[in-house]
Amino acid sequence: MILHAVVADAPVAEWAAAHGATVVQLRLKHVTTAERVRAGRDTLAVVHRPVEVVMNDDVEAAVALGISVHLGQGDAGMERARRAGIGFGRSARTVEEARQAEAEGALYVGAGPVWATPSKADAGPAIGLDGLAAICAEVSIPVIAIGGVDAGNATWCVAAGAGGVAVIRAVVELPRLRAVLDSLLAPGAAAQG
């Protein structure tokens, strides 16, 4: 089960990787590509496979680091990522956006916000569990639920079909969140409800 931690620096990325994250996404707003590359190098020095490191929004930084990139609907760079041979994920709020992301070759879709979130002011209205379930039903690539997700509601996202969850504010809950997600994979978990 994918547990995607959205972080702003190498120390938090290292902590997240040690506490259950399977992906750490560097989200550095209002800095240059050079600064993102430096932060990426610092992160790659402390986060090792099997945990993946992904750069948020900046395809040039991702290319320089040789890592995947996450691109929102308004972010340029998908063609550049494909030409450079690096993987990319896409944000999606609708079934149509998710289908398009899959057709473009995205490795995953970050679907949301599932619930309202203060972490991203421009996230738009919440899509809810019904919107998440609709996206999950229409694509074959992993759908990662984001937006207001925490240890108390992550199982609802998985029940809606998500292949994992992404957290920003709830990064501090990673050990508990990892335990919740792992319990869903335990033998007999489906029978328990």
Alpha helix (H) residue ranges in 47-187: 59-65, 78-84, 95-104, 128-138, 154-159, 174-185
Question: Which of the following is catalytic: 27, 90, 93, 178?
Answer: 27
Q: Is 120 a catalytic residue?
A: yes
SS3 156: helix
Q: How many CB atoms lie within 10 A of CB 181?
A: 21
Residue 91 appears among annotated catalytic residues: yes
Phi and psi for 118 in degrees, rounded to 5? -85, -5
User: Which of 38, 80, 82, 120 is flagged as catalytic?
Assistant: 120
| Cβ atoms of residues 152 and 134 within 8 Å | no
Kindly name the residue from 36, 68, 90, 91 that is annotated as catalytic. Answer: 91
Residues marked as catalytic? 27, 91, 120
